[in-house]
Structures are given as C-alpha cells and as structure tokens.
Structure 1
Amino acid sequence: MGALVHLPKGTVTGDLEPSGRRAGADSGDPQLRTLSVESGTDAQVGVWECEPGGWPVVNRPDTETCYVLSGRATITDDETGRRIEVGAGDLVVLPPGWSGRWDVTETLRKVYTVF
C-alpha cells in the first residue's frame, strides 16, 4: 500500500529543479523546472514550469491532466484548429491520441498527472 503524500504550503510555488530545454521545441528557449511527486502508481505526478517557447505534440500516447497555477500559453488542437488561451486557474485534459501545439507566452507553472 502506498504512503500519503503531502506537500506543505509553499512547496508547489517554491523553487523547482532545472530540467533542461523542452525536447522538440521549435521556438524560443523553453527551459524546464520540475518537481516529481511519488504517486505509488505508474502515473506521473508533479509540478512543471516552462519558460516561453513552443513545440508540437503528435499523437500523445497517454492522458495528461493539468491545473495551471501561473503564466500563460496558447494550445492549438490540430484536429479542429481551435486555439485556446490558458492561464492561472484553468484545467486542461489532453487525451491519448491528441495532436496539437503548445506555445508558452509567459512562464507557465502547472500541477500535472500523466497516466
């Protein structure tokens, strides 16, 4: 059985570990910072921050759910051409098979699960 995970106040908004440049980026210099959280399952859970830049996503293999804490980005859906602006307080779900594009316009921080 897994253990309860608790991140004290300030952990989610505090300093994160530098993780290098976002793989596949084709614009800007989107440097990442992350905090991985043990979920007790195969799911990936954590906090992710990215500086401005953009990249395509092609045929996503998994589901990502994220809650934006700060910053701004535009997400473009390849299938519909729909562009949405996301910012603090927005919840986004990207399903398996999703293709589109992320363009971070203001350093974005989100809490995420990937499964």
Structure 2
Amino acid sequence: MSYVHQQASVVTGPLEAKGQREGADSGDPQISSIAFDAPAEVRFGVWECEPGGWPIAERADTETCYIVSGRLIVTDGATGENYEVSAGDVIVQPKGWWGRWDVIETIRKVYTIAVPEVS
C-alpha cells in the first residue's frame, strides 16, 4: 500500500464539472469532483454539489466524508431522523445504509469509499 497526501490547496481548489447528480428529484444539483490516486481497495477525492435533493438506495459500500463547506440535511431511511450537516462535520454512511440527501448550501466534502471485496 502506498502513502497518499494531498495539500489543502487541492482540497479547496477547482474541480472538474460532472453534470447533474444522478437521481435528483429536487433543485438542479450540479456536481464537480476530483479523484486522487489511491490504493485499489479505496476511492478518495473531493466532491462538491449545488443545492438539490435525491434519495439514496441501499449503499453497496461504506463512505466516510469530512465536510469542508456548505450545509445539507441527511435523512436516515431506517429511522426517519434528520441530521443537519455542515462544515467541520464527519459522517459515515455504512454499507447497506439508505436515506436522503438535501443540499441546502453548496456542499464540498473530502471522501473515502471502501471498495467492497469481489468474491
């Protein structure tokens, strides 16, 4: 496994436009991102999304996020509980999690996704 390092200027700098968030059912959540080179068992990068909302089906992987800027409401599908998430927060969406994201102010996050083992 190799060491991965990204400077703060990369985290806060320009990202590549990717279009509207797939599955969006409110607003016009345009996304941008940059992926970093990382070991095969993990995906790692910066992701940004403009206001809008979408449901999340049962996750096939586990994602951990550090929120750099912005604000969103995450609704846990199993409990119906709403969480206001903003800059400085860390969230984990485990494999199997489902719910909803509603971005209130453009959100930017640093993420890692544990790639499931293929058997």
TM-score (norm 2): 0.91
CA offsets per residue over residues 60-80 of structure 1, 9 Å max, x none?
A: 111000000000000000110
Gaps of 5+ in 2: 115-119
Q: Which residue of 2 aligns with 1:48?
A: 47
Range with bigger deviation, 36-45 or 100-109: 36-45
Q: Which residue of 2 aligns with 1:94?
A: 93
* Distance across 2 between alignment mates of 1:9 and 1:97: 31
TM-score (norm 1): 0.94
Q: CA deviation at 1:18?
A: 0.5
CA offsets per residue over residues 31-84 of structure 1, 9 Å max, x none?
A: 011010111223110000000000000111110000000000000001101000
Residue 22 of structure 2 aligns to a residue whose secondary structure is coil
Structure number with higher helix proportion: 2
Letter in 2 for 1:112: Y
Report how many residues are paired.
114
Aligned-residue CA RMSD (Å): 1.0
Q: Which residue of 2 aligns with 1:109?
A: 108
Letter in 2 for 1:85: E
* Distance across 1 between alignment mates of 2:4 and 2:78: 37
Segments ≥4 residues shifted beyond 4 Å: none
Q: Give me the identity figure in percent.
A: 56
